[in-house]
Amino acid sequence: MSILSQSKPMKKVPIIGTMPIILDMNVDSSSASEGEESGETKEIAQSLACLTSQNAYHVAPQLLYELQVEIFARVPCPEYWKLQFLNKQFSQLLKSSEIFRTRRELGLVKPYFFMLSSNDRRWTMFDEDFKSSQRLPKLSSDINFFSGDKETTCVGTQLIVIGKYKEGITVWRYELAMHKWFKGPEMITPRIMFGSASHGTNAFFAGGFKISKNGVEVVSIVEKYNAETKTWASIHPMHRRRKLCSGCVLRGKFYVLGGQNENNENLTCAERYDEETDSWELIPNMLADMTLSIFQAPPRIAVVNGNLYLLETSLNELRVYNVNTNTWKKLGIIPVMVHLTKGWGVAFKSVKDNLMVIGASSNRPHSQKMGTYKCYPSPDMEEIHWEELCCRGGSLKHFILNCCVMLA
């Protein structure tokens, strides 16, 4: 099922010297039928074609370009790829970042979940309420890539997937505007099991392990990826080597939590990176109160409204971090059975003012379908109330291999 738009009252946009455009300026991409959406997309394309025809000679080029960007910005993101076939000019416009900048300026940005579950070889994109979904194209990679560990990060309007390939570690990226997979660009030091987090069109990738002829080496290397230029840059390394760690951006700084060092020992310390000073600060004992084991997943963390939340996977508990005291407060039990798998197979993400947890539901212990829950957290609460979402856009197996959120 595609993410679809719902009809609302139309507004006319008159252009001197051309026929008027009839366009829905309040596109809601959460519902409606596929036929309606295809018709609307076709109507927008025809209107754009009219603007670039010989009838548009009275329109100033810059005004025409700005109007095109305004129109494209209101098309539902999952439909962009259909418009690239209109002509080369619109295809180039679609590839630029101008449309997405305009979406941000107009407040049209929406979150989308990109998820891969067990026994699946195609990612699925869900809207923020899980009312609709869309399957991504198949990724042309070998069995080693799909059977091995993979790390995913959404940065800008790209989904970055990094994993083992027959020739080593490779990077794949899915571009939302083109609805296509592309290979690369490769990391400066290819590695997996790192901690990552994105902020706008940039993302940080810290630690992990690299594979060489001499074997596996845990590193403290950190790289920054720019989605607009599609380039990698090295930044100052961390104080500690660590793999199986987690990253987040908290109050303007990049945090890396937990993981294991080169001796497979669990790390209770964390580090935070200040981009202005290009320096790392070590935070001792940040995870000292957590139950850690060698087989558990990287810390499940998410940031909402400047507060850091964590799943204590051994106890199925939600906790919130106090930056000033370096302590954690308990906020009650979560509705997903994360303790049975030591944190593996569960997605824990922030969306706007919400926390989302997805996995094997505690209410349906024998079900193979994922349970999806959200809450409105606050550090002042004594216990969080979770609301279950009905996945009308389809459902995946309850063991979630990868999940990340894109704002587009």
Specify the CATH number for the domain of residue 218.
Answer: 2.120.10.80
Q: Do 326 and 250 belong to one domain?
A: no
Residues 207 and 214: their CA atoms lie apart, in Å, by: 18
| Residue finishing a domain among 87, 105, 123 | 105
| Residue finishing a domain among 253, 285, 317 | 285
Residue 30 domain boundaries:
11-105
Residues 374 and 370: their CA atoms lie apart, in Å, by: 13
CA-derived radius of gyration, the chain? 23
Q: Do 243 and 230 belong to one domain?
A: yes
The residue that leads in pLDDT, 277 or 393, is 277
Q: Is position 408 within any domain?
A: no
Q: Highest mean pLDDT range out of 59-68, 101-110, 373-382?
A: 373-382
- Domains identified in the chain, total number: 3
Q: Do 237 and 304 belong to one domain?
A: no
Q: Highest mean pLDDT range out of 53-57, 74-78, 164-168, 345-349?
A: 345-349
Contact present, 186 and 165 (Cβ < 8 Å): no
Q: Is position 379 within any domain?
A: yes
Distances (CA, A) of 183 to 31, 112, 163, 366, 391: 33, 22, 12, 39, 32
Any idea which of 14-28, 37-51, 266-280, 324-338 has the lowest mean pLDDT?
14-28
Q: Is position 404 within any domain?
A: no
Q: Do 159 and 203 belong to one domain?
A: yes
Residues 75 and 40: their CA atoms lie apart, in Å, by: 9
Tens digits of residue pLDDT in 344-378: 999 999 999 999 999 999 989 888 899 999 999 99
Mutual angle of helices 61-73 and 34-51, in 10-degree steps: 170
Q: Is position 189 within any domain?
A: yes
